[in-house]
Amino acid sequence: MISLLAAFQFLTILPPLVRRTLTPAELGRAAGWYPLVGLTLGVALLGLRLGAGRFLPAEVLAVGVLIAWIVLTGALHFDGFIDTCDGLFGGWTPERRLEIMRDSRTGAFGVAGGGLLLLTKYAALANLPAGSLALLLAPVLGRWAMVLAMFAFPYAREQGLGRDIKDNLRLPHVVLASGITVAAALLDGWRGLAALVVTVTATLLLAVYLLRRLPDLTGDTYGALCEAAEALALVFFTVRWA
């Protein structure tokens, strides 16, 4: 239960549920529950969309959902996406890119990347078919993408929160996260499973690209992978299926 509470505490704006310092082992186990946090977030966002959709046009509703999405997560992954964009395109060497990502200031590449990400999510949200479960599944797939990246790829820094999670993430935790994700995807049948396959493929390809430009992955790149997977999942569900 501590690891479950830690997952919600770390990934959302919920007040501290565990009023002590979490151990590295608890942080590693918490990663197994990340998709469940995403599912809870998806339920809240889908409920907002269905409830407010009776009164608001699609474009206004999309903005409202985006605001709620960022607020409920404390802009944690969005910040990582911006920092990653700054580092990837603002430096000439892997070490310099990593140094730029550590800088709390936001550069032009971060602003451009963040703006394009929000525009992509907005356009997808405004054009989702009626009854689509995309908003339910996208947060699940995004957090699953983080777990896969943490487990499968090396971490750049020797110390820090990301290092503690990475070093204590075990295969059973990945299996738990994957089981939750598959169960959530099955709620939408073959479309959900297809979105899962597309998302995991894109996550692995993007992680490989990141490793070609950085020494290794970081907490910022985990957030970037989450945001990219969410956006891709939303876009996937806007495709006009025959």
Domain ranges of the chain: 2-10+23-236
Report how far residue 27's alpha carbon sits from residue 168's, in angstroms, rounded to the nearest whole number: 7
What integer pLDDT is reported at residue 158 of this predicted model? 79
Mean pLDDT of the chain, nearest integer? 93
What integer pLDDT is reported at residue 242 of this predicted model? 41
Tokens of residue 43, six digits? 């339920």
pLDDT tens for each residue of 158-203: 777 888 999 999 999 999 999 999 999 999 999 999 999 999 999 9
Torsion (CA) 9, 10, 15, 19 in degrees, nearest 10:
70
User: Rounded mean pLDDT of 10-22?
Assistant: 85
Tokens of residue 72, six digits? 């409920």
What integer pLDDT is reported at residue 64 of this predicted model? 96
What integer pLDDT is reported at residue 241 of this predicted model? 65
Residues 221, 87: contact at Cβ < 8 Å? no
pLDDT tens for each residue of 73-115: 999 999 999 999 999 998 888 889 989 998 888 899 999 999 9
Residue 43 has pLDDT above 60, yes or no: yes
Report how far residue 137's alpha carbon sits from residue 141's, in angstroms, rounded to the nearest whole number: 6
Q: Which range is least confidently modeled, 16-25, 105-114, 122-131, 180-189? A: 16-25
For every residue of the chain, DSSP letters joined together read -HHHHHHHHHHS-PPPSS-SPPPHHHHHHHGGGHHHHHHHHHHHHHHHHHHHTTTS-HHHHHHHHHHHHHHHTTTHHHHHHHHHHHHHHH-SSHHHHHHHHH-SS--HHHHHHHHHHHHHHHHHHHTPPTT--HHHHHHHHHHHHHHHHHHHS-BS-SSSHHHHHHHH--HHHHHHHHHHHHHHHHTTHHHHHHHHHHHHHHHHHHHHHHHHHSSSB-HHHHHHHHHHHHHHHHHHTTS---
